[in-house]
Amino acid sequence: MKTGIITIAFGLLFSFRVFTQSENVNQTSFTTAIEDNSMFIEEAYNQEDRVVQHISNLVFLPNLKDDFFYAFTQEWPVFGLKHQLSYTLLYNSFSKDDVQGFGDVMVNYRYQLSYKENYLTCSPRLSLIIPVGNKELGLGEGSWGMQVNLPISKRWTNHFINHFNMGTTYLFRVKKEELDFDKPLYGFFAGFSSIWLVSEKFNLMLEYISNINGNAEMKNTVNYTTHTIIAPAFRFAIDLKKLQIVPGLSIPISFQKDVNPEVGAFFYLSFEHGY
């Protein structure tokens, strides 16, 4: 796994060198392209004034038979570009236990700290986790919580963009009677994506994210596990007057200690329009 990560890092560095050496484009003169439709990594571009976006993500894991995970996010600008509100709904299906249902809900606020005209684009996000998922069925954690993420985006040239994420999740009180566990849980995540703008409406992508999650153990002890995803992907845009549709497909490869790698399928679909 370490060898694969090192190889990808060198590949990304090489790509960056190629693109930056081949072009010398002023930050304000970039060509038009689809930029705000990442999958595992969050980009740092808030919604423009009076433009709403509806995002659907559907994940299948073939190694888990018929399991799937669906997320719907709707993003709204609040009096312009500087502030953005959104919410995320989750729906999970676990075939092994014959369990389907909605998971916990996230309500998100993002502040546009810096803009595309600046050297880096940055939009810190603060999310409230609302425990509406059924904890007994494994659809939720049964605890209120918060999540903080720092997305940073940088467009280097007409053909190359990087997005970077770093954040933490905090659950106020996780209670599991069968484990004699009753205390807060923390999680941490970080990752990046590299986007090749092949054309104005077609992108090739490579995303990497690593999650360190706290898991409840017996007698109020916590075991931290690392879950890493490397995901090649593509996306393209379809413009219909004032509506933009962006479908995408990613092939996430998941790595965990003492677990065989899993290859899945991640389907992305976005609708963006004015109102």
Q: Which tens digits make up the pLDDT trace of 199-209? A: 999 999 999 99
Which pLDDT value is given to residue 106?
98
Which pLDDT value is given to residue 12?
52
Residues of the chain under the 50 pLDDT cut: 1, 3-7, 10-11, 14, 17-18, 20-25
CA dist list (Å): 38 to 87, 140, 170, 179, 216: 17, 25, 24, 38, 31
Which pLDDT value is given to residue 257?
87
Which pLDDT value is given to residue 98?
80
Which pLDDT value is given to residue 95?
75
Which pLDDT value is given to residue 62?
67
Residue 70 neighbours by CB under 8 Å, 6+ apart: 56, 57, 58, 59, 90, 91, 92
Name the CATH topology of 2-274.
Answer: Porin (2.40.160)
Which pLDDT value is given to residue 93?
87
Which pLDDT value is given to residue 28?
56
Exposed (0-12), middle (13-18) or buried (19+): which is 84, by Cβ within 10 Å?
A: buried
